[in-house]
Structure 1
Amino acid sequence: MDGTMVDSMPAHAKSWDLFRQRHGVQLSVDEILKRTTGRNGIECVRLLLGDDLPEEEAKRLIDEKEADYRRIFAEDFREVAGFSEFARRAQARGLKIAVATAGDRNNLHFVLERVHVRPEAEVRGDQGLPGKPEPDIFLAAAKKLGAEPRDCIVFEDAPFGIEAAHRAGMRAVAICSTHKAEELAGPHVIASVRDFEELMKNDFLESLHA
């Protein structure tokens, strides 16, 4: 979802900067993003503040951080170019869409209300699954869709997500909104593009059905 469906990583960076200042985290924002992107909220907080942090406290802290993120992103919300139209065309062709995100319920609903896309399945990081690069979130999404992993294509903008797709036995498309193509490479990556407009210009959906 983040950085793939919506151009939210700048807002996440700002909210992590607030978190860093508030809680005395010495890492830079860039380093925090590098270590946390794709992980679920509790994993993120424990990574920054210690593995022994109680779960309830970790949940309270990530809720605080994500509330900052939604407030910031609401002021300048934007999708990754072409996402909504690409999703509409995919569903019109009979393809099923799942959102498989390490984000929580509030962040997911915040995004879906604004992009006007209704996926057939949702899997989130606050449902007890380990975050990426573990494959669990993607495998759970495939199961909800009734699809075999080999028949799924993951759209991802982050190295942990690309790795998780590989571990899940799925093909992947690298959306290079936040990372370079070489950072998102792999034997399972079938396309690397800037955004969904580029995919549509290249007749990506049509080629799948050729």
Structure 2
Amino acid sequence: MGTRAGLGLPDTIVACLFDLDGVITKTAVVHAAAWRETFDAFLRDRDGPGFRPFTQEDYDRYVDGRPRADGVRSFLASRGITLPEGTDGDAPREASVRGLGNRKNALLLAKIKAGGVEAYEGSLRYLDAVRSAGLRTAVVSSSTNCRDVLRAVGAEDRFDVRIDGVVAARRGLPGKPRPDTFLAAAADLGAEPAGSAVFEDALAGMDAGRSGHFGYVVGVDRVGQAQALRAHGADTVVRDLAELETRA
């Protein structure tokens, strides 16, 4: 199979679908920290000083890449905990699925405001190369803050389509590990799944790429989980998107 010159992709690919956190921007670690603070505070109040903390493995397996409420439910289920669903307006102190999700989002926004947002320079260069080659691009993220983050790093105009948490909720699209958001992005770009490449750092995103039968799935390994990314469906794994240009 041939490759598109300079991009390290099969020559059948006409559209590229990029996750945001951990692929384009350096926000995955901030998300993980906000989740850790949220769940550790909840577990400490529930179980006392001897509580079992939220770990990086918990983040990778149950939370990363999923819509916020799905992440809460998934992690709590792993600990045998059930909470009322609550409503989107629940205060961050509420012991409900939506309350915990709102607590995490408040912490995330505070961390972003305090430390700013950065993009991976290799990813921005790769995006520019993809667009220069005439491929269509979409950002696919479960985050409801996606547009603000893209604007903060000056990358909003690098994408033809945006399917984020806001758009997914409006369209009723289930989040990762289901492939629906990626499929919607490909459709909005006028591309078939087989002609689209998925770029993801989350295991849930790998599952979405595999189940959606996309033409190529790139795992981006920022935290040393290359083997797991491959096990979940990555066709190739890179530490930075700039590496794909050297593989062409």
Q: Do structure 1's residue 110 and structure 2's residue 148 form an aligned pair?
A: yes
Determine the C-alpha separation between the residues in 1 that align with 2:38 and 2:195. Answer: 39
Larger displacement relative to structure 2 (121-130 or 54-63): 54-63
Q: CA deviation at 1:138?
A: 0.8
Match of 1:96 in 2: 136
Q: Secondary structure at the match of 1:97?
A: strand
Which letter maps to 1:42? A
Q: Do structure 1's residue 137 and structure 2's residue 137 form an aligned pair?
A: no
- What do residues 109-134 of structure 1 show as CA deviations (whole Å, max 9, x unaligned)? 23201332221111123423222111
Q: Do structure 1's residue 40 and structure 2's residue 67 form an aligned pair?
A: yes
The 1:33/1:187 distance shift into structure 2, 3 A limit, reads: closer
Determine the C-alpha separation between the residues in 1 that align with 2:229 and 2:57. Answer: 18
Match of 1:194 in 2: 239
Which letter maps to 2:39? R
Higher RCO (CA 8 Å, separation ≥ 6 residues): 2
Larger displacement relative to structure 2 (28-37 or 90-99): 28-37
Q: Secondary structure at the match of 1:83?
A: helix
Match of 1:206 in 2: none
Determine the C-alpha separation between the residues in 1 that align with 2:198 and 2:23. Answer: 10
Match of 2:226 in 1: 181
Q: Percent identity?
A: 28
Unaligned runs of 5+ in 1: 204-210
Runs of 4+ in 1 over 4 A off after TM superposition: none
- What do residues 59-116 of structure 1 show as CA deviations (whole Å, max 9, x unaligned)? 4542331232132234153223411111112112211111111111xx2023201332
- What do residues 133-188 of structure 1 show as CA deviations (whole Å, max 9, x unaligned)? 11111111111111100000000112211111011111201111134321111596
Q: CA deviation at 1:51?
A: 5.8
Which letter maps to 1:29? T
Which letter maps to 2:227? E
Higher gyration radius (CA)? 2
Q: In the alignment, is the contact (CA less than 8 A) between 1:39 and 1:125 conserved in 2?
A: no
Matches within 5 A, 1:19-98: 19-24=38-43, 26-34=52-60, 35-47=62-74, 48=76, 50=82, 52-56=84-88, 57=90, 58-74=97-113, 75=115, 77-98=117-138
Q: In the alignment, is the contact (CA less than 8 A) between 1:156 and 1:162 conserved in 2?
A: yes
Determine the C-alpha separation between the residues in 1 that align with 2:37 and 2:194. Answer: 40
Which letter maps to 1:143? A
The alignment yields a C-alpha RMSD, in angstroms, of: 2.3
Unaligned runs of 5+ in 2: 1-19, 45-51, 91-96
The 1:103/1:187 distance shift into structure 2, 3 A limit, reads: closer
Q: Secondary structure at the match of 2:71?
A: helix
Of Structure 1 and Structure 2, the greater helix share is in 1
Q: Secondary structure at the match of 1:154?
A: strand
